[in-house]
Every structure is written in structure tokens, then in C-alpha cells.
Amino acid sequence: MLLIKSGTLVTAEGSFAADIRIDGEKIIEVGPGLNAQGAAVLDASGKLLMPGGVDPHTHFDLEMFETVSSDDHYTGHKAAAFGGTTTVMDFVPQLENGSLKAGVEAWHAKADGKAAVDWGFHANITRLNDDVIDEIPKLLKMGISTLKMFMAYNGRLRLQDGEIFRVMQLVREHGMLPMLHAENGDVIDVLVDQALAAGHTSAEYHARTRPAWGGVDAVLRGSALAAQASSPLYIVHMNSAGEADQLRYARERGVKVMGETCPQYLFFSEDDLAKPDGAKWICSPPMRTKEDNSGLWNAVAADEFQVIGTDHCPFFFDGTKPIDYEGKRVAIPGKELGANDFTKIPNGLPMVGDRLPILWTYGVGAGKITPQQFVQFTSANPAKIFGLYPRKGALQPGSDADIVIWDPERELTYGRAHSHQRTDYNLFEGWKLKGFPEKVFLRGQMIVDGEHWLGRAGGGEYLHRGLGEFI
């Protein structure tokens, strides 16, 4: 039994002084002046107590462009934990032969035994036929109630609008939630061909060949498909003010569409892609303009987005040069693969450990969002939408004791050393932070204590997720 005493609880509902009593893996009591009898006591005076972060969008150990994302289900989970996130959800690719079940088994083989925080899976549907249609409802028995479809990556991952509509109809019948990568694959293909033919091979052409209007069109089209299928919809990694406008438009008209944005779209722009090391910022969809940063912040502040996830999919900037990771030299091919051709730069960036510390200082500290919104976007809402609430995302009797003891006074200059992501760069290197996770508990076990890693590969539990709720 553990009693965390005299902290200030920060939840999606409010902030208040209270103690938390933990028995085994669960919170059993929350309130002021709890009796310490029989319990070890941890003094949290001056500290904030928050539910562990829930990141519903990661890509660990994902093969892409002749390489693999550089965090696996251990290193990525460890980085998540150091940043205060105790639950992650990873996307399972559909296999070449189409079988969803075999894909899920393959992803369990990668994650089971490595996982260091609790985790769940979403399924990617990238080829549709009668066998796949039969398999989709069976995902529920595997603990997967959510599936992602792509409107881009023609000839590889994309489904046609009619197929997306058919899947939406099907999953609606089972209470499942479709997720959408909203870009215009046809326009992207034309623009990429034209850019390469004109000899434009540098990183900024990644963004120039994926114009913002393509995302605006795709968000509206996806929302309209969901409306016609009477299905809810979750749109991942929304990156522009125009997309936020379409989300608002659809929600105001009663469409059950929910939106996720990510820190990279709040803090960075196409200008970063034009830097000599611009490949570090390449992900899909790309960064947009500074006006989009402000427009997205306005939509976040107005609660028009439901979630801030990460789309964590890291690669080395220079995968020919090893870094030290847990006493070993590690080098994994990365962004240098596309040094002469932006279409060969692996898409994705590191973010899973950065999300909470960066949003705390530059969101809450900067007065853009309240502490309640911080917990709502990064923990409570994803737990609700993805069928985990109040086990996750809450500090209530019966919730898992996933608790972050947050030091609101700690000041530091942030970077790779703090984030523990297994790559050779951090997009926030040198940023000044005030407020940082001090101790992190996963189901009652302390897994991070300051700079010390107390977690272990295999310490995470697979979350057999049920149906979530529309918020």
C-alpha cells in the first residue's frame, strides 16, 4: 500500500489538493487527509499529480523505405514513460496477403516481452476484399476496436472513397471507430512526378507536393463519408487551420467526427523543412505555415480538437553514425536515405516523450490552454475515445495507478538527453522548460524516478480495448 500525500491533483475536471492511496495496481482512495496507517508514504507537497499520459498514435518498429522506425516497443515505451506517458497505441500494418489476424500476431511478436508501458493496437486497413470484410469484426476479440484507413499513398496503402465508405458502414454496425489519414493522394502523385521531373529533390518539396488544400478537401470528404455512413470518425494528425475549420463545420452539423492534432503542427512550419537539416521535420502530412500554427492553437484552446497525440515515428537524421543507447552503439538507416531525393526520406519524427513536457511549458505555461485541457487532450479524452476510461486517463478509485508526479518548478534546457527517444536528434533541442515529470507510476510501480529508469521490458500490459465513446 502506498499513500501519495499532500499533492495537487490535476485532472480533466479540475485541480484540488488531495492524497491518493494505492493498493497493488489500483487507486483505491482519493481525498484530503487520508490515513497513512499501513501504507508507505510519499510526500508530494508542491507537486502536481496527473493521470499518466495516453498517446493514441505511435509507430514503433515500423518498416518504411528500406529501413525501420528507430524506436521499438521497448525504447519507445521507455521514452514515453520519461515524458509522463504510460499508455500508447500502435498501428498494426495489414500484411501483404491481407490477413488482419496474422498482422496482429506479428505485431504481438514484436511488442510482447518488450513493452514497458501499457499498450493497445489499432489496425490499418490498406486492402479491402471479402475476407478482410469478414475479419474486421473479429478484431474486437483481439482487443482492437479501431481501424485506420488512408486517403493517400496511392498504390500502397490507400483505399478508394467507396471502400472507405463501405468500411465505415461495417464498423458502425459493430460500434467500432474508423480513423482516417486525410490527404489527397491523387494530387500528391501528380505534384511529386512534376517536382522530380523539374529536378526539385530537396526536403521542402515534401510539403510543396502535399498542399494544405488536399488535407482540407480530405477532412471534409472524410467527414461527409462518415455522415453518409452514419458512422463516427476520428481524423488523425490534423495539420492546418483549414482542416480545423472543416472539423468545426462537420461537428456543428452533427457529424460525429473527432480530431487529433500533434505538437509538430503546433510548433513548426514549412520554414523548418527549408533548413539544411530540414529532413528532420519530414512527416506526413507535413508542417504548414505559422498562421496554421496559430489557427491550430486557437482550435485547441476552443476545445475544437479532442486529442493531442504524437504520430511518433522516429528515424535517425544520420543513420550512418551510431549513438549510445543503454551502453550499446546503435545506428539505424534514417533520413540520409533521401539526401538526394525527398521521396526517399522516411516519413516521421520523434515525439512520444516530448509531448507532455513541451505542451506543459508552451501550452499551459504560455497561457494557451488550462491544466484541465492539458489532461483532457493528452490523457482523459484519448482514454474515453479508445475505450479505456476511467481505467486510464483518470485518478479515481478503481483507476489504474498510472500517476505522474509533476514538478511544476523544475527548470531545464530540454533535448535528447531528457527525452530518451532512440534517435540522434530532438526537434526541441535547447528549448527552455518549466515543469517536468519527476516520478512516473505504471499500475502502482514506480518506473521513472528523476533520471533513473526503473521500468523493464515486459513490464507493460496489453490493453484489450472495448468500444469507446464519442466526445
CB-wise, 157 or 168, nearer to Zn ion?
157
347 binds, among Zn ion, ligand URP, none (CB under 5 to 8 A by kind): ligand URP
**Minimum Å distance from CB 334 to ligand URP?**
13
CB-wise, 51 or 348, nearer to ligand URP?
348
Strand partners, 412: 433
CB-wise, 128 or 313, nearer to ligand URP?
313
**Minimum Å distance from CB 283 to ligand URP?**
3
CB-wise, 229 or 283, nearer to Zn ion?
283
Task: Give 376's contacts (C-beta < 8 A, 6+ positions apart).
Answer: 12, 303
Among 118, 243, 272, 311, binds Zn ion (CB under 5 A): 311
Residue 13 in grid coordinates:
475536471
Residues 179-238 that bind ligand URP (CB under 6 A): 181, 237
**Minimum Å distance from CB 149 to ligand URP?**
11
Binding mask 258-287 for ligand URP (x = CB under 6 A): -------------------------xx---
Among 85, 87, 347, 399, binds ligand URP (CB under 6 A): 347
Among 21, 73, 158, 181, binds Zn ion (CB under 5 A): 181
Q: Which residues of 211-249 are buried (b: 16+ CB within 10 A; e: fewer)?
A: bbebbbbbbbbbbbbbbebebbbbbbbbbbbbbbbbbbe
**Minimum Å distance from CB 181 to ligand URP?**
5
Beta strand 445-449 with 26-31 is unpaired
Beta strand 85-92 with 118-124 is parallel
Residue 378 in grid coordinates:
493528452
The DSSP string of 63-112 is EETTEE-S--TTHHHHHHHHTTEEEEEEEEPPPTT--HHHHHHHHHHHHT
Residue 187 in grid coordinates:
494530387
Name the 3-class secondary structure at 204: helix
- Rounded to 5 degrees, φ, ψ at 234 are -120, 120
Name the residue type at position 259. G
CB-wise, 65 or 462, nearer to ligand URP?
65
Q: Does 311 bind ligand URP (CB under 6 A)?
A: yes
CA 291 to CA 310: how far, in whole Å?
Answer: 21
Among 83, 214, 348, 350, binds ligand URP (CB under 6 A): 348
CB-wise, 176 or 238, nearer to Zn ion?
238
Residues 58-87 that bind ligand URP (CB under 6 A): 59
**Minimum Å distance from CB 151 to Zn ion?**
10
Peptide bond into 93 cis (omega under 30): no
Selected range binding Zn ion among 184-192, 213-221, 307-315, 424-432, rule: CB under 5 A: 307-315
Which spans of this chain sit near ligand URP (rule: CB under 6 A)? 59, 181, 237, 283-284, 311, 313, 347-348
